[in-house]
Chain A
Amino acid sequence: MIDLSLTTIPDLVLAVMLIGMAWAALSSDDLKRSVILFIAFGLLLAIVWARLHAPDLALAEAAIGAGLSGALLLVALRDETGGKVAAGEVSRSGRWLVDLFALIMTCLIGWVLWLTIYTAPVERLATLANATLTQSGVSNPVTAVLLNYRAYDTLLELVVVLTAVLGVMVVGRERRGYRQAGPVFCGLVHWLVPLLIVTAGYLLWVGAHAPGGAFQAGATLAAAGIVLRLAGNDAAGLPAGIWLRWLLVAGIGLFLSIGLGVTLSNGQVLQYPEAWSGSLILVIESAATASIAAALVLAYRGGRPEGWLTAADKENNRGVSA
């Protein structure tokens, strides 16, 4: 049943490293160390995705899971210093109970997975997904699933992103910016930011027929914004005022209006006409890229920009400072 050949050795090594990295990141009491190890964990996971024939995921994990999550967590660490660290320990019996629970659950999940993998495969979605690929308008099956077969999921995902960023704007105010960077970092920025923007465009375009797509492109664009902010550009390349609001809702807005617009041709929501689907997908993806990037950069900035304080907000601030 289990055949341990030479080709599975790298997988075993990767699996052990992955578990070790997760353990190291979670068991450390030093939060900074935890966060840095978590970034390394994300990069390892990206290698695993490549190993499992999921290059789209490898790109996304490297950009989002390791890069942007790392940036968000590191900037959150900066807030953490200075404040008091929450004390308190879980009791010893509680600890034992949780460990026992975790062990039992791991065994159960492992057993179920074992059964699942070694049962004879029934009809797989993969065959269906690949059989209808020619009608989807793109030739990368992952993009086809995301923006054609399961377009509802992606639409709702954009809603989740917007909701999250609205939440961030409600609870948080923008963090203080960084001072102007030195000549070396500025030189790096001059090269890196245009390159990141071009790369984002490339990823967006290539997503139709090769690994890439809106999420990877959005993450790359957001990375450009974060680099800009670190170099001393407080707005991080985002427009101000009403334009920022439009940018944030552009993805959902365009997706929804195209989804509803196609009902004119065939009466069904999000059912693109076959001849148009390629270009419609590209338009939706471009808008989604911009919105995702704007949302992530805004989350990195920490909340609503200074100018957006409402009247009630100012009143509240006065009450606190008085």
Chain B
Amino acid sequence: MVDLLAMILVFMGIAFFFFGAIGLLRLPDLHSRLHALTKADNLGLGLMIVGVALLHGSLLVALKLLLIWLLALLGSAASAHLISQYALRRNHR
């Protein structure tokens, strides 16, 4: 039962990654691409991490995975901000 739930979560995560990737490839301009990429991928990663933590079933591993997710959130938020700021500055020039 737990395994099934975990697998569903992991596959939902993969689906979010997939749509994030489609957004990255298909959306017209940089800002909407960033929007698709960071939001969808962060959610996908979060779902996957919950799934994997359930599969593994150990609290310590779950905490480590949570830490990884928080780092990824921090990194993607900051890098998306930096990239879009750079793009905005360049467009203004």
Known: A182-B85, A184-B81, A187-B78. 12 other contacts (CB 8 A): A184-B78, A184-B82, A184-B85, A185-B78, A185-B82, A188-B74, A188-B75, A188-B78, A191-B74, A192-B74, A192-B75, A195-B71
- Bound form: Cα–Cα A187–B81 in Å: 12
- A185 proximity list for chain B (CB < 8 A): 78, 82
The 15 sampled A-B contact pairs (Cβ below 8 Å) are A182-B85, A184-B78, A184-B81, A184-B82, A184-B85, A185-B78, A185-B82, A187-B78, A188-B74, A188-B75, A188-B78, A191-B74, A192-B74, A192-B75, A195-B71
Residues of B participating in the A interface, judged by any CB pair closer than 8 Å: 71, 74-75, 78, 81-82, 85
Task: Scan A176-204; emit 1 where CB is below 8 A from any B CB, else 0.
Answer: 00000010110110011001000000000
A-B pairs, 8 with minimum CB distance? A188-B78, A184-B81, A184-B78, A191-B74, A185-B82, A188-B74, A185-B78, A184-B82
Task: Scan A143-186; emit 1 where CB is below 8 A from any B CB, else 0.
Answer: 00000000000000000000000000000000000000010110
- Bound form: Cα–Cα A258–B5 in Å: 53
Chain A interface size, as a band, is under 10
- A195 proximity list for chain B (CB < 8 A): 71
- B85 proximity list for chain A (CB < 8 A): 182, 184
Closest CB of chain A to B81's CB: distance in Å? 5
- Bound form: Cα–Cα A191–B78 in Å: 11
Closest CB of chain A to B20's CB: distance in Å? 16
- Bound form: Cα–Cα A188–B81 in Å: 11
- Bound form: Cα–Cα A188–B71 in Å: 10
CB nearest neighbor in A for B81: A184
- Bound form: Cα–Cα A182–B85 in Å: 10
- Bound form: Cα–Cα A188–B82 in Å: 11
Closest CB of chain B to A288's CB: distance in Å? 25
- B82 proximity list for chain A (CB < 8 A): 184-185
Closest CB of chain A to B2's CB: distance in Å? 24
- Bound form: Cα–Cα A187–B75 in Å: 11
- Bound form: Cα–Cα A182–B71 in Å: 20
- B78 proximity list for chain A (CB < 8 A): 184-185, 187-188
- A187 proximity list for chain B (CB < 8 A): 78
CB nearest neighbor in B for A230: B82
CB nearest neighbor in A for B82: A185
Closest CB of chain B to A58's CB: distance in Å? 14
- Bound form: Cα–Cα A41–B78 in Å: 24
CB nearest neighbor in B for A187: B78
- B71 proximity list for chain A (CB < 8 A): 195
CB nearest neighbor in B for A182: B85
CB nearest neighbor in B for A189: B78
- Bound form: Cα–Cα A192–B75 in Å: 9
- Bound form: Cα–Cα A187–B77 in Å: 11
- Bound form: Cα–Cα A255–B78 in Å: 40
- Bound form: Cα–Cα A278–B9 in Å: 42
Closest CB of chain B to A41's CB: distance in Å? 18
